[in-house]
Amino acid sequence: MQKSVAQAGAELAHFIEQHPKLWVITGAGVSTDSGIPDYRDASGQWKRSPPVQHGEFMASQQVRKRYWARALVGFKALREAQPSGAHKALAALEAMGFIELLVTQNVDRLHQRAGSRRVIDLHGRADLVKCMSCDYQMMRHAMHSEMARMNPAFAAMDASHAPDGDADLEADFSAFRVFDCPRCGGILKPDVVYYGDVVPPPRRLAAEVGLKNAQAVLAVGTSLMVFSGYRFCREAHAMGLPIGSLSLGVTRADALLTHQWRAPLTPVLTHAVEQLAALHRTLDTQELPSSQNRQGASRSSGSA
pLDDT at 41: 62
3 state DSSP class of 274:
helix
C-alpha distances in angstroms, 2 versus 39, 210, 244, 294? 21, 30, 15, 49
46 phi/psi in degrees, rounded to 5:
-65, 135
Strands 216-220 and 243-247: parallel
Spatial separation of the C-alpha atoms in residues 38 and 29, rounded to whole Å: 7
In a domain, 260, yes or no: yes
Give the global pTM: 0.88
Bridge partners, residue 188, by sequence: 131
pLDDT at 46: 61
- Write out the chain's pLDDT in tens, 304 residues: 567 899 999 999 999 999 999 999 999 999 999 988 776 666 667 656 677 899 999 999 999 999 999 999 988 888 889 999 999 999 999 999 999 999 999 999 999 999 999 999 999 999 999 999 999 999 999 999 999 999 999 999 988 877 777 788 889 999 999 999 999 999 999 999 998 899 999 999 999 999 999 999 999 999 999 999 999 999 999 999 999 999 999 999 999 999 999 999 999 999 999 999 998 777 667 665 544 544 444 433 343 3
Spatial separation of the C-alpha atoms in residues 248 and 96, rounded to whole Å: 26
Binding site: what residues are annotated? 131, 134, 181, 184
- Among 75, 52, 42, smallest CA distance to 161 is for 75
Spatial separation of the C-alpha atoms in residues 128 and 75, rounded to whole Å: 12
C-beta of residue 252 within 8 angstroms of C-beta of residue 222 = no
User: Which one from 87, 111, 123, 271 is the annotated catalytic residue?
Assistant: 123
In a domain, 231, yes or no: yes
pLDDT at 298: 41
Question: 177 exposed, middle or buried (CB, 10 Å; 0-12, 13-18, 19+)?
Answer: middle
| Residue 73, C-beta contacts closer than 8 angstroms, at least 6 positions apart | 154, 157, 158, 159, 167, 169
Cα atoms found within 13 Å of the Cα of residue 298, Cβ hemisphere only = 6
pLDDT at 47: 56
pLDDT at 299: 38
Per the annotation, the verdict on 19 as an active-site residue is: no
Q: What is the layout of strands, in order, in the sheet containing 137-139?
A: 137-139, 124-131, 188-192
DSSP per residue, 58-107: HH-HHHHHHHHHHHHHHTHHHHH----HHHHHHHHHHHTT-EEEEEE--S
In a domain, 172, yes or no: yes
Binding site for Zn(2+): what residues are annotated? 131, 134, 181, 184
Cα atoms found within 13 Å of the Cα of residue 2, Cβ hemisphere only = 10
Q: Which domain holds residue 243?
A: 5-281
| Residue 295, C-beta contacts closer than 8 angstroms, at least 6 positions apart | none
| Residue 281, C-beta contacts closer than 8 angstroms, at least 6 positions apart | none
Spatial separation of the C-alpha atoms in residues 96 and 84, rounded to whole Å: 19
In a domain, 292, yes or no: no
Query: How many domains are contained in the chain?
Result: 1
pLDDT at 120: 98
pLDDT at 196: 85
In a domain, 297, yes or no: no
CATH of the domain at 102: 3.40.50.1220
Consecutive H or E run containing 288: helix 265-303
| Residue 126, C-beta contacts closer than 8 angstroms, at least 6 positions apart | 75, 78, 107, 108, 109, 140, 164, 165, 190, 191, 192
Bridge partners, residue 224, by sequence: none
In a domain, 298, yes or no: no
pLDDT at 302: 40
C-alpha distances in angstroms, 211 versus 45, 205, 219? 28, 10, 13
pLDDT at 1: 52
pLDDT at 281: 77
In a domain, 210, yes or no: yes
pLDDT at 235: 98
In a domain, 294, yes or no: no
pLDDT at 300: 38
pLDDT at 216: 98
pLDDT at 160: 83
pLDDT at 68: 96
